[in-house]
Amino acid sequence: MSIVLVVGLQFGDEGKGKVVDLLSKKADAIVRSYGGNNAGHTVNINNEELKVHLLPSGVFYPHTKCFIASNCVVDPKSILEEIKLCEKKGFYSLDSRLFISSYANVIFDYHRLFDALEEERKINKIGTTKKGIGPCLSDKINRIGIRITDLIDEDILKEKLKENILLKNEILEKLYNHKPIDFEATYQEYKSLGMSLKKYVLNVENKVSEMISNKENIIFEGSQGSLLDITFGTYPYVTSSSILSSSFYAGLNVKKNDNFHNLGIIKAYITRVGSGPLPTKLAKDEEKLFDHTKIKEIGTSTNKYRTIGWFDAILAKYSVNINSIDSLAITKLDVLDDLDEIKVCTKYKIGSEIINNMPLNTKQLESAIPIYETFKGWKTSTKNIKNFNDLPKNAKTYLEFLKNICNLPISIISVGPKRDQTIWLKEFFN
């Protein structure tokens, strides 16, 4: 039995979807531990790109059970669309494979509305995806949220929704001068959505604990990356919830033991989408080195070009530490194949001070000037290489440096979007 936690170590878009898809082949279950449909996973199967936002990445294997845990927020419309799309693409029915925690909170249309209105009011935009995640979690913390267990009970839904809409309408009219929400139309729509989701609702927490006791192979996956964590990320340019490895356990009432492996996913360079600091952002004359379309650095959820930078070892070490990472999966090494030189930031200069650890606050990070070590490129394709020893000498030198500076072994190297474009250095499941 093995349990692998797949944790993004940057600002999201590290390639978690591909890694989870690869591991799913031998897994009995995939657990989506937190987050909502504000981030996306992209998997390449038979030369076709498939994108999911809330469904666990393991949906593409017929034998895997897929769980959405209590710390997730569920948009009923979005998840039902994803289920339909998967089945339309010819994947096996999810009726006996997908299970949603009754404790998960529900995203309503009014959450998306408030997300957009609030972002519009701000002088300094955070760059929210406007999927309603923040307002939904705000309701959860304020103890007025509506959970999946409420959604599938029409009487409880009616009572709670009426209270919520009265409150939301007062805010809409007085603060935003916006037309009120129609209670009856909203109730009828979400009552119907609840009935469609009811067959997937289960006590996920008990079922996952049972599978752990039965020594089954399980993958825990999240969304986004650790540097967007609500507490430890580049606040306020962060997501609305905790997304560290510790939140995987909290959302399922399980504790780590020797069979758990925290696998950190990290790109061979770095990107971020939306607002916020990126110290190693490419200089103007370097931007031509990376073709966004060719290397697929366009957001799955936002469709925006991601900001690209060189590998930032300071941020990487910080993420490794706050997540108690056991080994690394380094992705998109092939993107660097044609470069003459590759940079890695190992120190920052902030004012007159040179540091090699995470600054105390986001303002300092915004002013940080990166100090680089430069490596020679390898100028040859790595896309079809299956063995570490067959990699070009300079590629191995670069990877060894990343391994040493993070003080962790490398378990997986991805050299392309396809399943077979992968170098395995560790076997996770028997």
The answer to whether residue 41 scores a pLDDT higher than 70 is: no
Residue with tokens 């090494």: 333
For residues 326 and 261, the answer to whether their CB atoms sit within 8 Å is: yes
Ordered domains of the chain (ranges, CATH): 3-101+203-250 (3.40.440.10), 106-197 (1.10.300.10), 267-424 (3.90.170.10)
Q: Which residues contact 111 (CB under 8 A, 6 or more apart)?
A: 132, 133, 135, 136, 139
| Catalytic residue flag (residue 13) | yes
For residues 187 and 161, the answer to whether their CB atoms sit within 8 Å is: yes
| Catalytic residue flag (residue 261) | no
pLDDT band at 345 (very low <50, low <70, confident <90, very high): very high
Q: What is the pLDDT of residues 270-304, one digit of tens each?
A: 999 888 999 999 999 999 999 888 898 987 666 78
Which of the residues 21, 28, 41, 150 is marked catalytic? Answer: 41
Distance separating alpha carbons of residues 103 and 101, to the nearest angstrom: 5
Instruction: Quote the pLDDT of residue 395.
Output: 98
**Which percentage of the chain shows pLDDT scores above 90?**
72
Secondary structure of residue 37 in the 3-state scheme: coil
Side chain identity at residue 398, one-letter code:
Y
**pLDDT averaged over every residue in the chain:** 91
Instruction: Quote the pLDDT of residue 53.
Output: 82
Between 85 and 339, name the one with better pLDDT: 339
Distance separating alpha carbons of residues 282 and 299, to the nearest angstrom: 18
**Which percentage of the chain shows pLDDT scores above 70?**
92
The answer to whether residue 13 scores a pLDDT higher than 80 is: yes
| CB neighbour class for 117 (10 Å; exposed up to 12, middle 13-18, buried from 19) | middle
Between 41 and 318, name the one with better pLDDT: 318
Neighbouring CB atoms inside 10 A of 359's CB total 20
